[in-house]
Amino acid sequence: MAGGAQRVLDMTVEYAGQREQFGRPIGSFQAVQHHCADMAIDVLTARFIAFEAIWRLTAPGQDADEVALTVAVAKSWVSDAYQRVCALGHQVHGAIGFTAEHDLHHYLAHATAAALAFGDGDFHAERVADGLGLPSS
């Protein structure tokens, strides 16, 4: 999911640099820059959280409960971040992102399917809350 989000960000930044409106690239508009910055923050955070979960899964001598909690945090965050990145990518791309000629809609379908696989973000957020002893919603 983190890799898919990175690809959506890369495609969006490339498109924003090429697509022109009012005689200049849309990437020069502040709103588009904010969308790309928000996407970059989600991608970077998703990558770091995924790396932490991977490290905990592979490092010897890890407490099983802590590993499960870290994996739940990663699944919850990365699932939601991937969907946010796709949504912002569609905002920047406009209608072209939904067409069969463009690959962006494939990433949205993957983000949706991956978010539901092995429990959605809400399911894993509940697991995190339970693991920390917080009241569930």
Task: Please check the confidence at residue 128 and state whether its pLDDT lies above 90.
Answer: no
Task: Please check the confidence at residue 34 and state whether its pLDDT lies above 80.
Answer: yes
pLDDT at 40: 98
Specify which residues 21 forms β-bridges with.
24
Phi, psi for 118 (deg, rounded to 5): 60, 25
pLDDT at 100: 81
For residue 79, give the 3-state DSSP assignment: helix
What is the mean pLDDT of the segment spanning 2-27?
A: 96
Task: Please check the confidence at residue 42 and state whether its pLDDT lies above 80.
Answer: yes
Residues 6+ apart with CB under 8 A from 93: 11, 12, 15, 102, 104
| CA–CA gap between residue 41 and residue 81 (Å, rounded) | 9
* Domains located in the chain, CATH noted: 2-131 (1.20.140.10)
What is the mean pLDDT of the segment spanning 19-42?
A: 96
Task: Please check the confidence at residue 72 and state whether its pLDDT lies above 70.
Answer: yes
Q: Model-level pTM?
A: 0.87
Among residues of the chain, what percentage have pLDDT more than 90? 66
Residues 6+ apart with CB under 8 A from 117: none
Task: Please check the confidence at residue 137 and state whether its pLDDT lies above 70.
Answer: no
Instruction: Evaluate whether 101 touches 79 at the Cβ level (below 8 Å).
Output: no
Q: How confident is residue 135, by pLDDT bands cut at 50, 70 and 90?
A: confident
pLDDT at 124: 84
**Quick one: how many helices (H) and strands (E) in the chain?**
5, 2
